[in-house]
Amino acid sequence: MTQYKIPVIPGDGIGPEIIAEGCKVLDAAGEEFGFDIEWIYYPHGADHYLATGELISEDTLKQLSAYPVIYLGSVGDDRITPGVLEKGILLAMRFYFDQYINLRPVKLLRGVWTPLKDKTPEDIDFVVVRENTEDFYIGIGGRLTKGRARDVLEVHRSIYNAKFELDIETDSEEIAYQIGVISKEGARRVMYYAFNLAQQRGKHLSSVDKANVLSDIYGFWREEFATIAKEYPEVTTDLNFVDAVTMWFVKNPEWFDVVVTPNMFGDIITDLGAMVQGGLGLAPGGNINPEGTSMFEPIHGSAPKYKGKNKVNPIATIWAGAMLIEQLGEKQAADSIVRAIEENLTTGKVRTYDLGGSNTTSEVGDDIASLVRNL
Ligand code: IPM
Ligand code: MN
């Protein structure tokens, strides 16, 4: 029997409830497909931060880097300034492990209602490949009240370093600035991943940018995309401005197969994607470093108001669990989990409130786990 050790970070709010269902379903898949998982729990999140002052330390990150995958619930808590946990834990891990691919399937499963009129599961089935380490997410910026100042801003990544020495002068009462960076290495690696994925799927790749206005940063992205496209003559491509892409996701989702996007636009369009596929309760994501430690999570947040109510939909997390186990090479187990989710949704008897049902989080997890055992 194959033995996996998997770190799990339940996190805040509804995190522990949804993660419990994800682990339950993965354990059931293990029984069926011949592997056993030892879950290694990490307490990181709001309570741990309030008790110890640790967001996520270098020491913890080092420990975690010994594993190929991590399972994450959600972070974010009302008691803590917005952004502290998100940046200090979630983004810290994405950057530390250099998880340069944020893979977010936008797939309407059978049995799910979409707000898009007349669209079916045949029409809504694409994957967003979001760059996950650069762009306006690198976290460098500052503020200046009227006058003059110097600022040194630095980004350190395993693939490159960059340093900005700013000499700023303003007669505005106060200004704020944020610097976005895209590197050649950073753009190319995510684009290669997306082209290879498109080659295995419908052979169509759409790129997202805003090169008509933010022409330095996204003009560069567009140029790299066009260069790499020449190496994939069998993949058809199109270039889209992000505003237009939001329109096409709603009007013609069937046009899309694989979508590659810089970080910030990817954040925005995948919330739209989640709605198109039936809601945030159904949208999973993977933060992937193909050569390192990857991390799987639902794309929704910690929904503090539902904490402890055993009410929210665990499907996004269970589906993220399927992506996690696929990353470990257990393709059959992953497929069987997705099939079990679809069976649960088409039967429609055990559903949480967001899908019009009245079942609990754990009842949905139990149902999907038993479907994994019996399908
Ligand atoms: C996401 C989230 C995160 C992001 C936040 C919580 C930092 O919105 O995973 O999409 O912006 O990437
Ligand atoms: Mn987001």
CB of 91 closer than 6 A to ligand 1? yes
For helices 361-374 and 315-327, what crossing angle results, to 10°? 40
d(CA 203, CA 223): 20
Model confidence over 290-314: pLDDT tens digits?
999 999 999 999 999 999 999 999 9
Q: Is the pLDDT of residue 172 over 90?
A: yes
Protein residue whose Cα sits closest to atom 9 of ligand 1: 299
- pTM of the predicted structure, to 2 decimals: 0.97
Protein residue whose Cα sits closest to atom 4 of ligand 1: 267
Which atom of ligand 1 is the closest one to the Cα of 299?
Answer: 9
Beta-strand pair 258-261/125-131: parallel
CB of 90 closer than 6 A to ligand 1? yes
Domain 1-112+278-375 class? alpha beta
- How far apart are the CA of 267 and the centre of ligand 1, in A? 6
Looking at all shown ligands, the one closest to residue 102's CA atom is: 1
CB of 299 closer than 6 A to ligand 1? yes
- How far apart are the CA of 268 and the centre of ligand 2, in A? 6
Q: Is the pLDDT of residue 278 over 90?
A: yes
Model confidence over 47-73: pLDDT tens digits?
999 999 999 999 999 999 999 999 999
Protein residue whose Cα sits closest to atom 6 of ligand 1: 86
Does residue 203 come out as left (phi exceeding 0), alpha (psi in the -120 to 50 range) or beta?
Answer: left
Q: Quick check: 47 and 80 in contact, CB under 8 A?
A: no
Those residues whose beta carbon sits under 5 angstroms from the ion ligand 2 are 267
pLDDT at 178: 97
pLDDT at 18: 98
pLDDT at 163: 97
H or E, element range at 265? helix 263-276
Which atom of ligand 1 is the closest one to the Cα of 102?
Answer: 9
Protein residue whose Cα sits closest to atom 12 of ligand 1: 267
Q: Is the pLDDT of residue 263 over 90?
A: yes
Mean pLDDT of 245-270: 98
Strands in 194-310 per DSSP E = 204-209, 236-241, 258-261, 284-288, 294-298
Mean pLDDT of 159-174: 97
Protein residue whose Cα sits closest to atom 10 of ligand 1: 267
CB of 86 closer than 6 A to ligand 1? yes
Task: Please report the sign of the dihedral spanned by the C-alpha atoms of residue 40, residue 46, residue 49, residue 51.
Answer: negative
Model confidence over 204-234: pLDDT tens digits?
999 999 999 999 999 999 999 999 999 999 9
Phi, psi of 202 (to 5 degrees): -90, 10
Helix and strand numbers (H, E) in the chain are 12, 12
Domain boundaries, the chain: 1-112+278-375, 114-130+183-260, 135-181
Mean pLDDT of 42-51: 98
State both tokens at 161: 């370093």
Looking at all shown ligands, the one closest to residue 301's CA atom is: 1
d(CA 10, CA 76): 12
Choose which residue among 80, 90, 261 to substitute to test ligand 1 binding: the one with the highest number of ligand atoms within 8 A of its C-beta: 90
- Among 27, 22, 49, 47, smallest CA distance to 37 is for 27
- Among 352, 316, 239, smallest CA distance to 25 is for 316
- How far apart are the CA of 271 and the centre of ligand 1, in A? 10
- Among 162, 131, 139, 144, smallest CA distance to 84 is for 139
- How far apart are the CA of 130 and the centre of ligand 2, in A? 11
pLDDT at 375: 87
- How far apart are the CA of 243 and the centre of ligand 1, in A? 19
Choose which residue among 80, 86, 268 to substitute to test ligand 1 binding: the one with the highest number of ligand atoms within 8 A of its C-beta: 86
DSSP character at residue 10: E
CB of 267 closer than 6 A to ligand 1? yes
Model confidence over 314-350: pLDDT tens digits?
999 999 999 999 999 999 999 999 999 999 999 999 9
DSSP character at residue 281: G
CB of 77 closer than 6 A to ligand 1? no
- How far apart are the CA of 284 and the centre of ligand 1, in A? 12
- The count of other CB atoms within 10 Å of the CB of residue 177 is 14
Neighbouring residues of 115: CB distance < 8 A, sequence distance ≥ 6: 275, 276
Protein residue whose Cα sits closest to atom 7 of ligand 1: 86
